[in-house]
Chain A
Amino acid sequence: MKRAVKVTVNGKAYAHEVEPRLLLVHYIRDMLGLTGTHVGCDTSNCGACTILINGRAVKSCTLLAVQAEGASIQTVEGLATDGKLHPIQEGFWEEHGLQCGFCTPGMMLTAVDLLQRNPDPTEEQIRMGIEGNLCRCTGYQHIVNSIQHAARKMRGAAGRATPR
């Protein structure tokens, strides 16, 4: 019944035998123990489970673990490198982009994807760009500021925008 799945998560290779019906988000949380990726709904609406798969933001509750075979995955735990926060993390911290923090990992990864595609988004583009991610605490305004902060920083840094 079980099927093999091999993935790279935050640069580390994993191989497991999993039930074909296992959701990717449960694989990441329960089998890999990476609980920074959250589950907020069962209808693909909230975005709390957002991760990067091959660099693009994906809701990990909408995929089966077996569908991620061979993928390179990044979760919130892999955002900071060598103990240094990613600009999006700095942005959320500086601009008070989080309250309870539950939506934050997904929100940040969506923002990373957004900034990759559009390094200098307008406020409107940011608000539209995060429409797949719900936050019940912040009223979004400080999230917008956080993403703008990160955008400035990443444009300034002009180097590698996203760790892969």
Chain B
Amino acid sequence: MLTSFEKLIFILMVAVFGGLTAWGFYQIYRIIRRGRPAARFTHVIPQTVKALLEVGLQKPMYKSRPILTTFHALIFFGFSYYILVNVNDLLEGFLPGYSTAEVSAGIIGLLNLLGDVLSIGVLVGVAAFLVRRFIAKDKRLEYNKDVLLLPGVAQGGIKRDSLIVGLFILCHVGSRFTGQALRLAEMGATNPAQPFAGALSLLLRALPPSAFAPAIHASWWIAIGLIVVFLPYFIISKHVHIMAAPLNLALAKQAERGRLDPATSPTNGQGQALPLPGAATLADLAWPRLMDAYACIMCNRCQDVCPAHNSMRPLSPSALEINKRYWLNANFNAFAGGASSPPLTEWAISPEAVWACTTCYACVRVCPVGNEPMADIIDLRRRLVNDGAELDSGVQSTLEKIGKTGNSFGQAARNRAKWAASLDFKIKDVRKEPAEFLWFVGDYASFDARVQEITRTVARVLKSAGVDFGILYEAEKNSGNDVRRVGEEGLFEQLAEQNVAAMSKCTFERVITTDPHTLNALKNEYPDYGGKWETIHYTRLLAQLIDAGKLQLQHKLSHYRVTFHDPCYLGRYNNGFNPPRALIRAAGCEFVEMPRNKENSYCCGAGGGQIWMGSTPVGERPAENRIREALAALDPSADGAGGNAKRLLFVVSCPKDVVMYSDAVKTTGNEGKIEVRDIIQLIAEAMGEGRLLTSNHKPQNAIPA
């Protein structure tokens, strides 16, 4: 149907815009190559297949925001299908006499039907997004005060980009759809395979006959020509994610979530200067982190789930990715050609934001395109620590304490097992006699007066269940999990080496930990330092013991209505979702899930060194937010005024959580309404050992009778 002249123009356009686009992609490739090396090319083929399948089903996106994701899926399916449709349109344009608009049978008929329906889908989806962004003004697309934003971002660049692309899609799909309707109208035909376009065509029949030909040409150009014109714009718009996202997913990190990428790229040794750890500028980041910037769809899902963001701190993981992307757009050729960026802390993320991260992994988990903003943050911390930047006073003094004494409490090493002194039995010294389990107790469980009673309870329950276990006594040191996550790589290595050396001298089969942070370091990171043992959390061991009938629970604690908080480093990081729930069930408590549970669990705010910080931020603390969530879920009013009111418990399985949430219950003014308990306390009570409540958990008449 196209005239020869039109054909020529089109071919020229493809050459020019296509060439420009290809060059753009090559530049992006060079940009990503500027990042430091990272091992990412393992299992590429199965990963790619998996990524394509996942993208095909839009699975990564359904991790959150189901309704919006459905609109996105409409656009995605429509657009994917449009590849076929557009090829057909091209053929129609270039092959004289080839026309399919009116065909209703066979393959072409099916193609038409799907195209027609999906066109409407895309139009609805895009309209929904535009409404959300420009009329409903979704709060989730805004940033906290003091979040560092590049001028382009701050001035609404993302909105403009959305608008351009939204309009492009509306024009492209709308025009193609209208084109179909025009052609049916010109022919005076109806096509059951094009119900929507057919309906429109009935209206268009009213046009004067001379108008059809130019209108059909115009609609072709607006639909197909526009794509070609638009290709280079993709390079700078967030819609390059269409290409970058699947690639990012295919090349995503394979290792355990809890194993951080190395602080430096591997050197080939030979006398070259040691590279500085972590990252200061863009090119210091590992290359997948640069790809993140291109994959990012600027959806802010990561910000939604970020505890730092939600307590009004100036951290936004999405702003970080978006800033990176905008900076690259602005310095596209220069950076591809080798120019270096100013320090990231000057334009991508503020130092205060860097130190606000709890390393909860929620942003990484939720990101539909496989980005890892947290990895950037840890790399920045690593370099700041290395460069002797001024650290938060609490973090610095804690690191110094750990460096000097091996524990974050600055206590003498010989006090580490003091908690065990008041037990009526002696715990094996695994350095002196073999044991089946080496129990790595951890700092908080060993030293914090509020947790020690719980630690003793763990010991008594294990003992009662006939578990053969021992501890390292003063040879145990801080596991270094959080030390590593505040960026003190050297101290982490030192601790890992010391712990592995101490443990290597002992005879045992498996390791148990009470602290999920410790669990994470031992299980996922110590293997790199020669510590290759099976490490499990005590909740898993207890669940196994109950299954095996070795741990018998006498009482049903049905007078408790409880909810459970998944600690980041037990749940999201190490998939320890089920054992705690199994234990609660076994203890006979009434169990209620909080809305944010398991993979979606909300950080208590302690991780990544936050518990060491010398300054408290002003907004609602994550732990307080969580206590309110728990109370809403447990709904204390549900029992009515009867005498059978249940006591509400907030059950945790991490020593730091005991501290954080006991505090939050107080600060939210909910003492007496809800109590914080460690899971071991429920087990002990259900075993019939009596009520093992510490002084911080004095039995109270929680609910007035």
Genuine A/B complex: no
CB within 8 Å of B: which residues of A?
none
CB within 8 Å of A: which residues of B?
none
